[in-house]
Structure 1
Amino acid sequence: MITRTVEDAALALTALGGPDPRDPLSFPFAGEDLLATVRASVRGWRIAYSPDFGGFPVEPAVGEVVADAVRALEEAGAHVEEVPFRLPRDQRELSDLWCRLIMPLNVEAIETLKAMGFDLLGEHRQQLPPQYLRWLEEGYRLTALDIAHDQQLRTEVFDAVQNVFADHDLLITPTLACLAVKNADDGNTVGPGTVNGVEVDELIGWCLTYPINFTGQPAASVPAGLSEQKLPVGLQVIGPRHGDAKVLTASAVLERIRPWRETYRLAAQRELGESGSRG
């Protein structure tokens, strides 16, 4: 969900949280007062900080803003330490893994629509982005063994991230590896092909958020500050499994110490078409 304040996020989660008997993966709501967590403290917490989320190239302009924002948690009484955390696979391999993992659902959707009389590939292929078509073709080629192997890789990522929480309450990383990217006129927006001199997948290789979709940890992206070009930079707060309250608490602390309300004014004044990273 996207909200303007952390309190709004807590209100939304309070309204939306809870089990659904139709969903076998849902779990009972713990009954926590999420609004109270917004007013809680991080004093004494142990917070892990990974400036590259275990192996992603990150632009210095992003890293500087995030590192400065992390100091706000120290000001609030938390013990923040930069951890030697490494993801088990290269970032390019992980971005490919993510694209493969979501393709079976896309193949199913394409075939379901075709059975209903909507042949997207046959009648509207030219309207689909070329990157999507490439991965969709890969999805049709995947075997059961391929999918099983990818799930093993996903488990490796889960184990690596989960191990951080054996000794820490939270994990902090940048949200993106680069500054804001320009929206394409044709709607097919992609990111840079290289970040800080390292080749990345232009679809998601510059996003440090997708690995958490492998693991199921709660996470939030909050404004960390502005670059010298006055472009917004995000900080990702990752909690342990079912640790939504901790994520809200830390996010609210950052909002109180480094309020971002004024950045909305800057966004409103920016001319449409201005951008940061171009690739």
Structure 2
Amino acid sequence: MSSETTLTRLSATELAARIRNEDVTATEAVEAHLERIEDRDDEVNAFVTVCAEEAREAAAEADRALKNGTDVGPLHGVPVALKDLGDLKAGVRHTFGSALFADHVAERTAVTVERLEAAGAIVIGKTNTPAFGHKGTTDNEVAGPTASPIDTDLNAGGSSGGSAAALAAGMASLATGSDAGGSLRIPAAACGVYGFKPTFGLVPDDGRPNAFGRSTHTVTKGPMARTVEDAALLLSVMAGPDAADPRSVPIDLEPLEAVDRPASDLEIAYSLDLGAFSVDDEVRAVVDDAVDAFEAAGATVDEVTVDHGYEMAELREAVMPTFTTAMVETATVLKESQGVDLREHPDDVSDSLLAMLEAGEAYDSTDLAKTAIVRTDVFDAVQDVLESYDVLVAPTLSSVGVGLHEDPGVEAWDRALTWPFNWTGHPVASAPAGLTDRGHPVGLQLVGSRFDDETVLAASAAFERQRPWHRLYTEG
């Protein structure tokens, strides 16, 4: 096995330890990942921009710091990929997944990226996303579609598809994502990696010029990784209040301590359909089997009903106003701040985004007010379950295998069991549950009480110990 293959298969936690111990240099780690990008990314298309020279310079500086005996951070020398949407890095191309911003260069660095770099992480590139994160597959007019490394005929999912694919293909040790309707969890499920959507407000977002969005249909940044421990490490760096985010919350969190907690005291609630979704038999088989792992770990598992009282059609009717009007808000802010009206550039804006904007403009404040009633009922139903249980588990997606160029359209709302938790703000992860008979990965969602992100990580780690998924991207 080559040194490139060896280093790119290490967990971020182990790679960081080896760099600190000077068993491996940061330069060797960066070069191994750049070589991996060279080998795999033509096929996968995870990256929009590769920061090769900047990463090499940062790695050389990281190696000098160790030689000089400088105290270093927990991610010192570890290559990280940034989603090309909200994770700005000054001086680096930042496209928002839009051809209209193909040559845009960020003028400042986002607070989460500042924290990553302060912890020693080295930005290796920016990862692909659909324009402004508007859908659950990754394809755009800038870079084209991103494939799942597990099956390159399939889309990596979205909107953090490039980040998930980069991890699964060994092109980055860690990656950032964001989630407005499943954008961390959908690609995690499609690529067989771990994605964590924190409690809304836990990870700050200092986005400008609009600092007050993200709440009608909650949007949050979060970690993506190949192991739960790596995600906990990344979350420990990203989380914490910031004065520039009026919605950030001052909650103390110890993610890494949670990873080692035993599962014996956990009480797990299992809902296959969250009270409304229709789940394919092949997904059901994998998830039913995966849930057995919690009992094997010593946890108690009960099947429950999430009793919100709505049919799928009613939920879909309610989610359309909250999501599409959020995209209209994005378009309005772009027009006001950048002078760019997406509707005036149909050749450079995808039909799916234009259709979403048209739908969102048809709703008014009355429509949004009505959705708040449904949203509250769903919140209360989830809360009712979590009053008696530590974690609620459910599939991430009701079906598997979206084609590389396929866009499910409105059917995406029926397919993703993710977006209800963007209404409720609960912390929720997607962990690899296993493979179908066709070899497609299935994701398992783990939902916890608000601000109890540690318990979600603890349950995830217990599941990973019983059903390790590392082989998904280390075999072959």
- Asked if Structure 1 and Structure 2 have the same fold, meaning a TM-score greater than 0.5 normalized by the shorter chain, the answer is yes
Q: CA deviation at 1:129?
A: 3.4
> Which residue identity is paired with 2:424?
T
Contact 2:430 2:445 in 1 (8 A): yes
Q: Name the stretch that deviates more: 150-159 or 89-98.
A: 89-98
Corresponding residue number in structure 2 for 1:153 = 374
What's 1:106 paired with?
Answer: 327
CA contact (8 A) 1:7 1:252 kept: yes
- Structure 1 residue corresponding to 2:407, chosen from 172, 179, 190: 190
Note if 1:207 corresponds to 2:416.
Answer: yes
Q: 2:247 aligns with which of 25, 29, 34?
A: 25
Provide closer, same or farther for how the CA distance between residues 23 and 177 of structure 1 changes in structure 2, counting only shifts above 3 A: same
Give the alignment partner of residue 166 of structure 1, picking from 380, 387, 396. 387
What pairs up with 1:36-75 in 2 under 5 angstroms?
36-75=257-296
Please say if 1:82 is aligned against 2:303.
yes
Q: Is 1:219 paired with 2:441?
A: no
| SS of equivalent to 1:2 | strand
Distance 1:21 1:130 in 2: 38
- Residue 56 of structure 1 deviates from its aligned partner by 0.4
Distance (whole Å) between structure 1 residues aligned to residue 467 and residue 388 of structure 2? 26
Q: Give the length in aligned residue pairs.
A: 253
Instruction: Report SS of the residue matched to 1:81.
Output: strand
Q: Distance in 1 between matches of 2:446 and 2:257?
A: 18
Give the CA RMSD over aligned residues: 1.8
Q: Which runs of 5+ in 2 are unaligned?
A: 1-222
Give the whole-Å Cα distance in 1 for the aligned partners of 2:418 and 2:459: 17
Shift of 1:168: 0.7
Shift of residue 128 of structure 1?
3.2
- Per-residue displacement from partner, 1:78-110 (whole Å, max 9, x unpaired)? 110001223332223323422311223322332
Q: Which structure has more RCO (C-alpha within 8 Å, separation ≥ 6)?
A: 1
Shift of 1:158: 0.7
Which residue does the alignment assign to 2:7? none
The residue aligned with 1:14 is: 236
How many Å separate the matches in 2 of 1:161 and 1:12?
27
**Which residue in 2 is equivalent to 1:144?**
365
Correspondence 1:232 to 2:441 = yes
2:453 to 215, 219, 244: 244
**Paired residue type of 2:250:** P
Displacement of 1:132 after TM fit?
Answer: 3.0
The one-letter code of the counterpart of 1:137 is E
Q: Is contact 1:47–1:79 with CA below 8 Å preserved after alignment?
A: yes
Mapped partners of 1:109, 1:12: distance in 2: 27
TM-score w.r.t. length of structure 2: 0.51
TM-score normalized by structure 1?
0.85
Question: 2-side partners of 1:77 and 1:35: how far apart?
Answer: 21
1:121-136 maps to which residues of 2 (within 5 A)? 121-122=343-344, 124-136=345-357
Distance 1:44 1:107 in 2: 45
Q: Shift in Å at residue 230 of structure 1?
A: 1.0
SS in 2 for 1:165: helix
Gaps of 5+ in 1: 194-200, 270-279
Change in Cα spacing, 1:55 to 1:112, as seen in structure 2 (3 Å) is closer
Indicate the SS of the match to 1:44.
coil
DSSP 3-state at the match of 2:413: coil
1:257 corresponding residue in structure 2 = 466
